[in-house]
């Protein structure tokens, strides 16, 4: 992991959330409208090229059918995990929970996609990455949120820190 940059797994998760939104057939499991910008890809075409490259590399190492299955499986796992957790947060709020701590918050856009929760939920981003303090990890993520059209002050409901 490079200092001040999101991890490869965070970027890949964003890429596959964007892949789902853009190209998977309805119904959508998760609609992460920030995922493309967070992925670091400048356009849908660039995202498709990156995903195609990943699939081609895996196909060369294994076989094309397995590469397609892996892409579909990774996309399903990433979006299902996010959607499940967000559903659980909705249920927890109904029970009176007022804080949501995201460990290893790799390019998560939940708080930005759900501004309606700002009045009832405090979201904490906590980095657990060795060598990354929470502020460093979160600073790179908040920079990507600004690229996605959100002002830095819009991140005020995030509390930065490091989980020990």
Instruction: Enumerate residues 6+ apart whose C-beta is below 8 A from 34.
Output: 109, 112, 113, 145, 148, 150
pLDDT, tens digit, 9 for 90 and up, residues 115-159: 888 888 887 766 555 544 443 334 444 444 444 444 443 343 444
Determine the Cα–Cα distance for residues 7 and 57; give it in Å rounded to an integer.
Answer: 20
Q: Between residues 105 and 58, which one has the greater pLDDT? A: 58
Determine the Cα–Cα distance for residues 6 and 19; give it in Å rounded to an integer.
Answer: 19
pLDDT, tens digit, 9 for 90 and up, residues 36-72: 999 999 999 999 999 999 999 999 999 999 999 999 9
Q: Between residues 118 and 18, which one has the greater pLDDT? A: 18
Q: Could you identify the residue written with the tokens 């890949």?
A: 12
> At 59, which CATH number?
3.40.50.150
Range of the domain at 87: 8-162
Instruction: Enumerate residues 6+ apart whose C-beta is below 8 A from 91.
Output: none
- On whether residue 95 sits in a domain, the answer given is yes
pLDDT band of residue 101 (cuts 50, 70, 90) is: confident
Determine the Cα–Cα distance for residues 94 and 26; give it in Å rounded to an integer.
Answer: 28
- On whether residue 104 sits in a domain, the answer given is yes
Average pLDDT over residues 93-105: 83
Is the predicted pLDDT of residue 23 greater than 80, yes or no? yes
- On whether residue 2 sits in a domain, the answer given is no
Determine the Cα–Cα distance for residues 151 and 161; give it in Å rounded to an integer.
Answer: 20
- On whether residue 20 sits in a domain, the answer given is yes
Average pLDDT across the chain, whole number: 79
pLDDT value of position 103:
72
Radius of gyration (C-alpha) of the chain in whole angstroms: 16
- On whether residue 12 sits in a domain, the answer given is yes
Q: Could you identify the residue written with the tokens 């965070």?
A: 10
- On whether residue 51 sits in a domain, the answer given is yes
pLDDT band of residue 1 (cuts 50, 70, 90) is: low
Nearest alpha-carbon partner for 34 in 20, 53, 52: 20
Total domains in the chain come to 1
- The helix (H) or strand (E) run that includes residue 111 is helix 110-113
């Amino acid at each position: 992991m490079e200092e001040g940059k999101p991890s490869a797994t965070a970027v890949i998760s964003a890429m596959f959330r964007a892949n789902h939104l853009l190209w998977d057939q309805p119904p959508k499991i998760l609609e992460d409208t920030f995922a493309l910008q967070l992925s670091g890809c400048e356009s849908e075409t660039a995202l498709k090229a990156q995903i195609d490259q990943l699939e081609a590399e895996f196909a060369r190492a294994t076989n094309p059918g397995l590469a397609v299955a892996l892409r579909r499986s990774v996309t399903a796992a990433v979006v299902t995990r996010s959607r499940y957790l967000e559903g659980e947060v909705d249920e927890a709020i109904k029970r009176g929970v007022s804080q949501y701590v995201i460990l290893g918050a790799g390019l998560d856009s939940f708080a930005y996609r759900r501004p309606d929760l700002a009045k009832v939920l405090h979201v904490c981003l906590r980095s657990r990455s060795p060598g990354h303090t929470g502020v460093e990890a979160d600073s790179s993520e908040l920079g990507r949120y600004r690229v996605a059209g959100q002002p830095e002050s819009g991140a005020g409901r995030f509390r930065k820190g490091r989980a020990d």
